[in-house]
Structure 1
Amino acid sequence: MIEGDPTESDPAATEADLEALVRGICFKTGPPRTTGVEVEWLVHEPHRPHLPLTPDRFEAVYAAVRALPLYSALTVEPGGQLELSSPPAGSLMECVSAVSADLALVRTTLGAFGLALTGLGTDPWRPPARLLRQPRYDAMEAYLDRTGPAGRGMMCSSASVQVCLDAGYEEPGPLGHARRWRLAYLLGPVLVAAFANSPLLRGRLSGWRSSRQWLWASIEPGRSAAPRLDGEPRAAWARRVLDAPVMCIRADHGPWLVPYGLTPRSWVRCGAPRPLTRADLSYHLSTLFPPVRPRGHLELRMIDAQSGDDGWIVPLAVTAALFDDEAATETAYRVVKPLAERAGPAPAPRNALWLAAARHALADPELQDAAAVCFAAALEALPRLGATRTVLDLVAAYTERYVVRGRCPADDLIDRLTVMGKDLPS
């Protein structure tokens, strides 16, 4: 995440300074060359997944995991979810190889503690419970609680596959940053639908195939709403950042202030409760969670965590192919652009199309049709990106099992519960 240095005291004196800083940090244009992925996992006992982790066990487990020689950056989410963030890789397969090696080490270490990684978009068994006690998460919880319980569910009970791609060329065209920014939001509902894998909360069906996406759509919109997409990306994102409520103001000692109605724009104008610094703005950027977050590169945040040891590879490979292969990009853009008419005026992820994707997934005929075209284009493009036969087989099998049948992984869980009853067996 983008974290400002709390000791940095260089003030951003004007709104123009703020906007220039946002533009410089968030969009770094150039040829699309690197690929990354952030994989989040729930952590459970394999045979007693409903049991919570105790704080002492949590600390022991993650101390052991942190000691591993990993390629990826390791972080722990508030509810004890584990996240591996790959370094920027020069190719899709370099990224897959590095993260696969890291996950093998992590799984072995967790196994010694009687625990396993679980790839689901939401915890199906346990209610949200925060294990991390840090000022950032104390403040986040206090802020999000103002608008309901979804924030705690997002913080403590959700997991995802986040695909990270270069912003793209400065110039117009299929691989230009403006097109890639728009494509990310147009393609987002298709990715939500194709990889929906979270139909359960607290042991019961939620009514959503992606309960995770529903949680994100339900939290305070200042944190999760997309900017307007009908203008230049840098300007649109800068406006969104400067007018988004400040979640917290850091302090060297004691709890952090959680203000009401303060934005960076109003903060720099009034200079209270203290002058806003560049570090404050950088930190504010780390507290915004739209479906696509520009962090120099583009971070696509809408995909549920996937089951199985290598399930995460499929969304990474499909998304990379649809963005980094020019022919596949053109195909994807052509097929998803008409879907935008269904979205309506609300920003993602609260508009009609994103909500349909979260509720119905590929049971929605238009989303299924778009997904079928996009997955076919990705399969055709992946050999040009150097994908191995193993990766191609994974994507082909997923396409056959789910996409062409109008299904998603959530449907498998729903089918099990239809047979066993509405409560999830522990």
Structure 2
Amino acid sequence: MARDQIDMTPLESRDELVAWLEAGVKPESEFRIGTEHEKTPFTLDGHQPVPYAGAKGIGALLEGMKLLLGWEPIMERGNIIGLYDVTGGGAISLEPGGQFELSGAPVETVHQTQAELMAHLAQVREIATPLGIGFLGLGMTPSWSRAQIPVMPKGRYKIMRNYMPKVGKYGLDMMFRTCTVQTNLDFSSEADMVKKLRVSLALQPVATALFANSPFTEGKPNGFLSFRSEIWRDTDNARSGMLPFAFEDGMSFERYVDYALDVPMYFVKRGDDYIDVSGSSFRDFFAGKNKAFPGERPTLSDWANHLSTIFPEVRLKRYLEMRGADGVPWGRLPALPAFWVGLLYDNDSLDAAWDIVRHWTAPERQALRDDVPRFGFKSRIKDRYLFEIAKECLILSHAGLRRRGRIDHLGRDESRFLEPLERIIEAGRSPAEEMLDKYNGAWKGSVEPAYQEYAF
């Protein structure tokens, strides 16, 4: 979420950190689907990055959206950096390079996800088109260098920008050049959380392959199908990855808290200020040993903020966030929540999915994760190609959505949103492979046509 929560009660015990996560448990009847997607703004004229300032900048875009939607602005030092719907709907926020993110409202069905998306795109176009701004639906900017991309006026990003190069090769690329779509799903108990976390972590490479579409860097093929996924392998390994501990006996909310306590922090927010505490642990802060706050204890807000700076393939907050997919054009966006809802919100499909992955070892899961950015469906685990596993998962997801039986006004269930993925499986190729064929064929060695074909 865009807003950094404001709960300034000092924490007394580790149990409160566990309780904060545990508060996410809800009955199945209250399960919701949250979808977040990022898209890269570009100038319709010349396909350049869009600056924040100016009459045709991203600030002006947000001001226009504020007037259109009546949403509350999120301000930082006099700059508008986001919007949120006070009625509990969605929010709009900016990623470091101006990537425009919709954090959707928690909805009950994928039909509602689709409706929300279509409304959002119509609203954004209404404001953006007169400003000469378009949006690209790829996992990574295909033609710009990092130096070309403007910096958004957000304090937390300045701290991250300074820290990232110290802990990985690609942190700045992640911040400025990538886009994702993710879906956030609920759990009904600690055991349900653990099972869903394990299944979705192990199968995250399936989503990476199905949604892979970042094969270009600075106008040329980069040797990968999802370079965005490769970027995460060398961004900051202390806060990302496949969470091998989640598969060990005794996995619990408490175990995740212990992991998060040792993940290095980025910042602490006090008033409008982001105070750089990068590299120090929350555990030390908790013990009153943070150099910037000697003797002071963190607040629940500090904890919630810290959890939002951890980037594993599946992230636990008060829900589970699926983080393995590249950003995609609008027609494929609802396929991501549909895929995971079908697998995780239907108990038969969840059991069957667990059967697929239960015998994989941590080194095997890691090797699959390491191979998928480059090889996509041709990656292997044990004696199977990922393509076969993806095909099986899609069948399970389809069955799960049919059993859920959430029908739209035309009598269709949510399985229809899997159609783009079913076409990918039928073709046997990821979207990135299709794009590379175009690049080598109809596009005549240029990525410029992507700005038409993959625009929102």
Task: Give TM class, smaller chain.
Answer: 0.7 to 0.9
**1: CA distance, partners of 2:358 / 2:221:** 32
Q: Indicate if the aligned counterparts of 2:143 and 2:219 stay in contact, CA closer than 8 A.
A: yes
- Alignment CA distance shift 1:48-1:337 (3 Å): farther
Aligned mate of 2:352, from 310, 313, 331: 331
* Partner residue in 2 for 1:182: 198
Q: Per-residue deviation at 1:318?
A: 1.2
**1: CA distance, partners of 2:134 / 2:407:** 28
**1: CA distance, partners of 2:357 / 2:46:** 42
* Partner residue in 2 for 1:321: 342
Aligned mate of 1:30, from 21, 26, 31: 26
Q: 1:7-49: per-residue Cα shift (whole Å, max 9, x none)?
A: 82x4334xxx13x233222242233321111111111234632
Q: Indicate if the aligned counterparts of 1:192 and 1:213 stay in contact, CA closer than 8 A.
A: yes
**2: CA distance, partners of 1:361 / 1:406:** 11
The answer for unaligned runs of 5 or more in structure 2 is 70-84, 450-456
- Alignment CA distance shift 1:177-1:205 (3 Å): same
* Partner residue in 2 for 1:64: 64
User: Identity across aligned pairs (percent)?
Assistant: 24
**2: CA distance, partners of 1:123 / 1:312:** 18
**2:103 alignment partner AA:** S
Q: 1:310-353: per-residue Cα shift (whole Å, max 9, x none)?
A: 21011121111111112222222222334x33x518xx8xx211
* Partner residue in 2 for 1:291: 313
Q: Indicate if the aligned counterparts of 1:190 and 1:367 stay in contact, CA closer than 8 A.
A: yes
**1: CA distance, partners of 2:211 / 2:323:** 12
Q: Indicate if the aligned counterparts of 1:379 and 1:392 stay in contact, CA closer than 8 A.
A: yes
Q: Per-residue deviation at 1:92?
A: 2.6
**2: CA distance, partners of 1:362 / 1:288:** 27
Q: Per-residue deviation at 1:210?
A: 0.9
Helix, strand or coil at the partner of 2:162: helix
Q: Per-residue deviation at 1:375?
A: 0.8
Residue 259 of structure 2 corresponds to residue 243 of structure 1: no
Residue 139 of structure 2 corresponds to residue 143 of structure 1: no
- Alignment CA distance shift 1:235-1:254 (3 Å): closer
Q: 1:121-167: per-residue Cα shift (whole Å, max 9, x none)?
A: 11111223243122211111111121345111111111111111102
Residue 328 of structure 2 corresponds to residue 310 of structure 1: no
Aligned mate of 1:203, from 204, 219, 226: 219
Q: Indicate if the aligned counterparts of 2:225 and 2:375 stay in contact, CA closer than 8 A.
A: yes
**1: CA distance, partners of 2:283 / 2:340:** 35
Q: Per-residue deviation at 1:257?
A: 2.3
Q: Per-residue deviation at 1:177?
A: 1.9
Q: Per-residue deviation at 1:179?
A: 0.8
Q: Indicate if the aligned counterparts of 2:241 and 2:312 stay in contact, CA closer than 8 A.
A: yes
* Partner residue in 1 for 2:77: none
- Alignment CA distance shift 1:7-1:371 (3 Å): closer
* Partner residue in 2 for 1:162: 182
* Partner residue in 2 for 1:301: 323
Identify which range, 77-86 or 95-104, moves more after superposition: 95-104
Identify which range, 75-84 or 403-412, moves more after superposition: 403-412
Q: Per-residue deviation at 1:412?
A: 1.4
**2:298 alignment partner AA:** T
- Alignment CA distance shift 1:130-1:45 (3 Å): closer
Q: Per-residue deviation at 1:414?
A: 1.2
More strand by share: 2
- Alignment CA distance shift 1:41-1:282 (3 Å): same
Q: Per-residue deviation at 1:99?
A: 2.8
* Partner residue in 2 for 1:97: 115
* Partner residue in 2 for 1:21: 16
Q: Per-residue deviation at 1:55?
A: 2.9
**1:100 alignment partner AA:** M
Q: Let me know the Cα RMSD of the aligned residues.
A: 2.5
**1: CA distance, partners of 2:351 / 2:219:** 41
The answer for unaligned runs of 5 or more in structure 1 is none
**1:358 alignment partner AA:** P
Structure with the greater relative contact order (CA < 8 A, sep ≥ 6): 1 or 2? 1
* Partner residue in 2 for 1:398: 421
Q: Per-residue deviation at 1:95?
A: 2.7
Aligned mate of 1:256, from 269, 275, 284: 275
- Alignment CA distance shift 1:248-1:47 (3 Å): same
Residue 229 of structure 2 corresponds to residue 213 of structure 1: yes
Helix, strand or coil at the partner of 1:380: helix
Helix, strand or coil at the partner of 1:67: helix
TM score, norm. by length of structure 1: 0.87
**2:189 alignment partner AA:** Y
Q: Per-residue deviation at 1:6?
A: 6.4
Identify which range, 111-120 or 21-30, moves more after superposition: 21-30
**4+ runs deviating over 6 angstroms:** none
**2: CA distance, partners of 1:270 / 1:197:** 45
Helix, strand or coil at the partner of 2:324: strand
Q: Indicate if the aligned counterparts of 1:72 and 1:98 stay in contact, CA closer than 8 A.
A: no
**1: CA distance, partners of 2:189 / 2:387:** 30
How many equivalent residue pairs? 408
Q: Indicate if the aligned counterparts of 1:363 and 1:406 stay in contact, CA closer than 8 A.
A: no
TM score, norm. by length of structure 2: 0.82
Q: Indicate if the aligned counterparts of 1:198 and 1:210 stay in contact, CA closer than 8 A.
A: yes
Identify which range, 408-417 or 386-395, moves more after superposition: 386-395
